[in-house]
Amino acid sequence: MKIGIDARPLSHELTGIGRYTLNVITELFKLDDKIEWYLYSDRPLLMSFDYPNVHIRVGKKGTPFTSTLFSQCLFPVWAVKDKLDTFWSPRHHLPLALVLHRRLHKVVTIHDIVWKRHPETMSKFGLMLEKLLFTPSVIIADAIITVSKFTTNEIVNEINQIENKIQTISLKSFISDELKQQKYHPYINEEYILFVGTLEPRKNLNNLLIAFKKVQQEKPKVKLVIVGKDGWGDIRISDLVQSLGIEKSVVITGFVTDEELLSLYQHCAILAMPSLYEGFGLPALEALSMKKKVVVSKFTAIADIEGDNIFLTELDSNAIGHCINEALEASPRLFADVDNNWSTIAERTLNLLQTEASRVSCQ
């Protein structure tokens, strides 16, 4: 059996979808050494996979536009050349020309439909891609994986007659028990609120910063640490921090290493993630796995998890500030039950990919 994967999320610094892809395929490769895996990317991957049954096809580094063009044109050619049984995209879009390969089964993972719910938070190019590729991809897909029941409900309510193709395989924390038990040197020594995520409009950072200033009126010693690489949109975090007069209390780290991130999770007072919309929210899940208190908006799959260390907020700065103060003062007892068993996700994903491929081979 031969299975191809769109591995482009592994060709640049890992964000949410990149971590999802890496965690799933790392476990997939351990499950069945008789499967031939093919990783496709428009540019070199940032990590290597030392397995005899893993084959990597890459192009040269390009722009987001050429990446899309490359995947739409070259991936179908590679799929034919490699005689794939199944092609899986972990990132919303399938190469549309794969529809011509009737014996090839196509699987796509959907993380959210932010382009429908909050198009104003997306880059123009990103929104254009979603409008062009999202709906055709879920239509030509033989199976759709969603990362939460929240996302499943969103898609079913938006696109008709695809419910029978969807399987929900909820995410897990990427932090292993071994990593959680280690003691990490503090990134900063003060008490701090932590934000982790791409710096883009959907994360509602403007209101978080305004809320933080209000929190400081009662707790002047607390800091805010913002972790993440630049995204898109006119967010100008440093400018807003300066205009609010809180530059001495806000630490903007940029992208950090895994060890630095683990340290930040381990020593934070709370994680704040009041996003306008999240199909899941890996940073909140990771913080919960380390028994941390989290503040999240009601518009995320995390809101469906039970635990008194989860604090739900509306999107405005007053509500966020009130919720942060409540979380800082709280002493949870019934922590959210969050595990890190990515092998279960891999097993369910592999079962889906094998089932699809086996059905085709019998036609």
- Asked if pLDDT for residue 139 goes beyond 90, the answer is yes
- The pLDDT score that the predictor gives to residue 53 is 95
Helix axes 16-31, 342-361, angle to 10 degrees: 70
- Asked if pLDDT for residue 91 goes beyond 80, the answer is yes
In this structure, the answer to whether residues 106 and 207 fall within a common structural domain is: no
- The pLDDT score that the predictor gives to residue 79 is 97
- The pLDDT score that the predictor gives to residue 362 is 46
The mean of the pLDDT values for the chain is 90
In this structure, the answer to whether residues 199 and 106 fall within a common structural domain is: no
- The pLDDT score that the predictor gives to residue 230 is 62
- Name the band, by pLDDT with cuts 50, 70 and 90, for residue 42: very high
Which neighbouring-strand residues pair with 193? 224, 270
69: CATH: 3.40.50.2000
Compute how many other C-beta atoms are within 10 angstroms of the C-beta atom of residue 234: 6
Number of domains observed in the structure of the chain? 2
- Name the band, by pLDDT with cuts 50, 70 and 90, for residue 161: confident
Work out the average pLDDT over 23-30: 94
Compute how many other C-beta atoms are within 10 angstroms of the C-beta atom of residue 51: 11
In this structure, the answer to whether residues 185 and 166 fall within a common structural domain is: no
252 assigned to some structural domain: yes
Closest CA to 19 of 138, 169, 172: 172
Compute how many other C-beta atoms are within 10 angstroms of the C-beta atom of residue 243: 11
- Name the band, by pLDDT with cuts 50, 70 and 90, for residue 132: very high
- The pLDDT score that the predictor gives to residue 142 is 94
- Name the band, by pLDDT with cuts 50, 70 and 90, for residue 22: very high
In this structure, the answer to whether residues 13 and 153 fall within a common structural domain is: yes
Conformation bin of residue 83: beta by default, left when phi > 0, alpha when psi is -120 to 50: left
- The pLDDT score that the predictor gives to residue 357 is 54
Residue that has been written with the tokens 């002047």 in this structure: 220
In this structure, the answer to whether residues 85 and 202 fall within a common structural domain is: no
In this structure, the answer to whether residues 166 and 230 fall within a common structural domain is: no
In this structure, the answer to whether residues 118 and 238 fall within a common structural domain is: no
78 assigned to some structural domain: yes
- The pLDDT score that the predictor gives to residue 294 is 97
In this structure, the answer to whether residues 7 and 155 fall within a common structural domain is: yes
Work out the average pLDDT over 209-222: 94
What are the DSSP E strand ranges found in the chain? 2-6, 36-41, 54-58, 86-89, 105-110, 143-146, 166-168, 192-196, 223-227, 250-254, 270-273, 293-297, 310-313
- Asked if pLDDT for residue 234 goes beyond 60, the answer is no
- The pLDDT score that the predictor gives to residue 108 is 97
Domain with 38, as residue range(s), is 2-172+342-361
In this structure, the answer to whether residues 143 and 162 fall within a common structural domain is: yes
337 assigned to some structural domain: no
In this structure, the answer to whether residues 352 and 322 fall within a common structural domain is: no
Q: Would you give the distance in Å from CA 7 to the centre of its chain? A: 14
Two structure tokens written together for 211:
């809320």
CA pair distance 89, 75, nearest whole angstrom: 11
- CA distances, 50 to each of 21, 31, 176, 258 (Å): 17, 15, 21, 21
- CA distances, 206 to each of 200, 216, 220, 243, 275 (Å): 10, 16, 19, 12, 11
- The pLDDT score that the predictor gives to residue 238 is 81
Compute how many other C-beta atoms are within 10 angstroms of the C-beta atom of residue 315: 15
Work out the average pLDDT over 86-115: 94
Which neighbouring-strand residues pair with 6? 40
Q: Residue 141 in contact with residue 165, Cβ under 8 Å?
A: yes
In this structure, the answer to whether residues 242 and 212 fall within a common structural domain is: yes
Q: What is the 3-state secondary structure (H, E, C) of 93-153?
A: CCCHHHHHCCCCEEEEEECCCHHHHCHHHCCHHHHHHHHHHHHHHHHHCCEEEECCHHHHH
236 assigned to some structural domain: yes
Work out the average pLDDT over 251-273: 92
- Name the band, by pLDDT with cuts 50, 70 and 90, for residue 363: very low
**Dihedrals φ, ψ of 199, to 5°?**
-80, 90
Least confident of 177-191, 219-233, 242-256: 219-233
CA pair distance 57, 188, nearest whole angstrom: 42
H helices within 141-195, ranges in order?
Answer: 149-158, 177-181
In this structure, the answer to whether residues 319 and 355 fall within a common structural domain is: no
